[in-house]
Structure 1
Amino acid sequence: MTTTLLTGISELWTFDPALEEPGERGAADGQVLHDAAVVIDGDRIAWTGPAAQAPDADERHDLGGRAVLPGWVDSHSHLVFAGDRSAEFEARMAGESYAAGGIQVTTDATRAASDEALRALVLARIAEARRGGTTCLETKTGYGLTLEQEKRAAQLLADLVAEGELDEATYLGAHLVPAEFDGRDGRPGADAYVDLAAGDMLQAVLPFVRWADVFCENGAFDVAQSRRVLEAAREAGLGLRVHGHQIERSGGVTVACDLQAASVDHLNAMTGEDIEALAATAQRPVVPTGDGLLDAQHGPTVATVLPACDLSTRAPLAPARELLDAGAHLAIASNCNPGTSYTSSMTFCVGTAVLQMRLSLAEAIRAATRGGALALRRSDVGHLGVGARADLHVLDAPAAIHLAYRPGMPLTHRVLRAGTAV
């Protein structure tokens, strides 16, 4: 394999697990190197350290005094959709409140899209995220909501994972109760739909995904319904994720912690009890399974905050500061979707976390890299330790603080994913 030496690095943020102190949630001593260099061997990090001590390599590139971070790890997105909900957004900005039911608009448009059109839309959104520095990306089904449509979306995601375009695929059949289930068979629509989402639909998508998710929220699925879907998915061998506490204190945190879900996401409506419950899971050990993956069904439950969504819905910001102070693992993700967070810019999310969520720069960057990797139960991404996938985000700035100091500016100079320029 060809080795490549990158020099001219003013700041190198490694977040190397080998250098991290127990309980560390920011940048420890030695995690930010100055006047640094990196050696890439094929698709992996082979060496990091002072530029003056860099070994020889087959090729050499000078980055011109720029800062280098691990690529962003976006652990929560919804990219498989067609249609547009800008009118809904405009109405919300004019004072209408957010409710979960808007998903049906996207469901109708997604069902009507051809396979070719849907694939092209997803690939274009992945490319947008890559150009902004995101090198590891999860996305979900959830806008089909029939067995055939959810299987179609899951198959599409599995194909993109196999092609190396996508990293993680999640089944979100329990996103919303579709309109055609209201009152079916004389039963509440949600109960009848859960029969499908936890049964035949789950079995249909099982070969194509690593994760299952559920929207445990007012207007979607209650605790009992959410638990039923998640328990069925866990029994089938999938790792678990949960949408929860976005609109009200839905019980999603309790369900996620009880079932060792890898993450619970949104978290706007929280109490001290919820925060402590998530912090208590931080002591659970992770279990390597090979190829840079960790056991999807065992480990801590990561608190994943979605700053762009909070701004778009004008919701109270999730208590990221309090979660970190309590000792919880924290991730930042984009929640890119057409209704409540139509952006894949992790740079924007990190800047918002520093400016409005009261995180330090190191805490925010770590949550968007190492935190996202833990939320996906991966050890190969989110850091630049030796052996990690060579995912680098080169900033067009001499220091990473520019991410918050110059909000909204295009600060991505270059992106490498698995050692290859994006």
Structure 2
Amino acid sequence: MRTLITNIGELTTNAGSGDLADAAVLIDHGRIEWVGPADDVPADPEGCEEVDARGRAVIPGFVDSHSHIVFGGDRSAEFEARMAGQKYAAGGIRSTVAATRAASDDELRAGTRRLLDEMLAQGTTTVEIKSGYGLDVETEKRLVRLAAEVTEEVTFLGAHVVPAEYADRGDEYVDLVIGEMLDACAPHAKWIDVFCETGAFTLPQSRRILEAGLARGLRPRVHASQLGPGDGVRLAVELGAASVDHGTYLTDADVAALAASDTVLTLLPGVEFSTRQPYPDARALIDGGVTVALACDTNPGSSFTSSMSFCIALAVRDMGMTTAEAVWAATAGGAQALRRDDIGVIAVGKRADLVLLDAPSRVHLAYRPGVPLIKHVWKDGVQVR
């Protein structure tokens, strides 16, 4: 089926054609067939459905390259305590682990679907999903299996934190992660991740985990420098990780290493909002040559938002990004963080994942924070909203 979206007031392509005014896009069987000025639209193909954008803006579908949406339980009390002054610590993850282990597959599946529908309604057309709330072989296997039902971007994060039953025996838990747990989870995953941070995993432990994943064909990602400066960025760059995520506390050496690599730095402003940590200086990072992506980090503890629009507004308001940079980071940047070139852009031959904003410009995503501005969403050429 073909769809022609015409009378687009502002078209963000993230491609060589740049931004276009008074534009049109032709979709054919899930791919972009043509992009250009509305006056140059090819002759109306037979059976083509036409959508009049009425001067509104169109952007690529958001690519959320960092989420933890397969989980059980609720941590709203923890959020309230932080708002009252309690400091965030990685150990809070363990409370979600207990609830997740107790949940059935159907309960986890229903919660995941609810969040996915919530994301899609807000313009997110591609989602990466991590495990990490099981921390035992059987539950981690369940989490990656359930995630694989809804996305091809599945990350095995058995190394989220050391579970309570392995307290003071971190190296033994790493043995489990890179042995029986990896054997069970690798068939369902594309990526491997580790939380290389004080209170989670040390540099030597993180290296063992990522190298074991690489040996099994899983590509590396790294949580790093969320709670303070550390060695995770250096390890991520050394091992060719697609993305290092958080980056709240970076050294000059970290920035230089990222700028000289093809590792994307994925910033997660919802975390800083929810934990009251300082926002990263995205302006300095971009000016320093670092490739930056934006993601929500949807999870019940440190960032329970699924709104990429909200994260864009935070990036513009508190991290020094222009709206154009923030939208790029939430679309093409997320695609680069997933090593994908078929999404995050509006160009001939790419997947037809598009968002029609109920606004004349993408600037309104930051200009009108909290306002529902997603008019229509197309996923693989099908209008899903």
Could you tell me the TM-score, scaled by structure 2's length?
A: 0.98
Write the letter of the residue equivalent to 1:252: G
* Paired residue total: 381
Give the share of equivalent positions with the same residue, in percent: 55
Q: Say which of 293, 312, 327 aligns to 1:331.
A: 293
Q: Say which of 112, 134, 137 aligns to 2:124.
A: 134
Looking at structure 2, the residues matched to 404 and 141 of structure 1 have their Cα atoms a distance apart, in angstroms, of: 31
Looking at structure 2, the residues matched to 167 and 317 of structure 1 have their Cα atoms a distance apart, in angstroms, of: 30
Looking at structure 2, the residues matched to 301 and 61 of structure 1 have their Cα atoms a distance apart, in angstroms, of: 38
**1:386 matched to 2:376:** no
Q: Say which of 89, 101, 107 aligns to 1:99.
A: 89
Structure-to-structure mapping, 1:248-259, within 5 angstroms? 248-259=228-239
Structure 1 stretches of at least 4 aligned residues deviating more than 6 Å after TM superposition = none
Q: Say which of 374, 377, 380 aligns to 1:412.
A: 374
Worse-matched range after superposition: 317-326 or 125-134? 317-326
- Secondary structure of the 1:270 match is coil
Name stretches of at least 5 consecutive residues in structure 1 with no aligned partner. Answer: 20-29, 161-165, 183-187, 282-299
2:32 aligned residue: 45
Structure-to-structure mapping, 1:350-369, within 5 angstroms? 350-369=312-331
Structure-to-structure mapping, 1:252-331, within 5 angstroms? 252-281=232-261, 300-331=262-293
Looking at structure 1, the residues matched to 353 and 49 of structure 2 have their Cα atoms a distance apart, in angstroms, of: 18
- Secondary structure of the 1:120 match is helix
Write the letter of the residue equivalent to 2:66: H
Write the letter of the residue equivalent to 2:154: A
**1:235 matched to 2:234:** no
Structure 1 residue 31, shift from structure 2 partner = 1.0
2:159 aligned residue: 174
The answer to whether the 8 Å contact 2:281/2:320 transfers is no
Structure 1 residue 407, shift from structure 2 partner = 1.2
Name stretches of at least 5 consecutive residues in structure 2 with no aligned partner. Answer: none
Structure 1 residue 244, shift from structure 2 partner = 0.3
Write the letter of the residue equivalent to 2:294: I
The answer to whether the 8 Å contact 2:23/2:35 transfers is yes
1:114-166, Cα deviation, whole Å (9 max, x unpaired): 11111111011111000000001101110000001101111111222xxxxx2
Q: Say which of 60, 69, 73 aligns to 1:79.
A: 69
Looking at structure 1, the residues matched to 379 and 297 of structure 2 have their Cα atoms a distance apart, in angstroms, of: 21
1:290 aligned residue: none
Structure 1 residue 280, shift from structure 2 partner = 0.5
Structure 1 residue 81, shift from structure 2 partner = 0.4
Write the letter of the residue equivalent to 1:227: R
Structure 1 residue 167, shift from structure 2 partner = 3.7
- Secondary structure of the 1:368 match is helix
Worse-matched range after superposition: 58-67 or 248-257? 58-67
Write the letter of the residue equivalent to 2:249: A
Looking at structure 1, the residues matched to 119 and 368 of structure 2 have their Cα atoms a distance apart, in angstroms, of: 20
The answer to whether the 8 Å contact 2:152/2:190 transfers is no
1:152-200, Cα deviation, whole Å (9 max, x unpaired): 111111222xxxxx24100000001110112xxxxx3211100011111
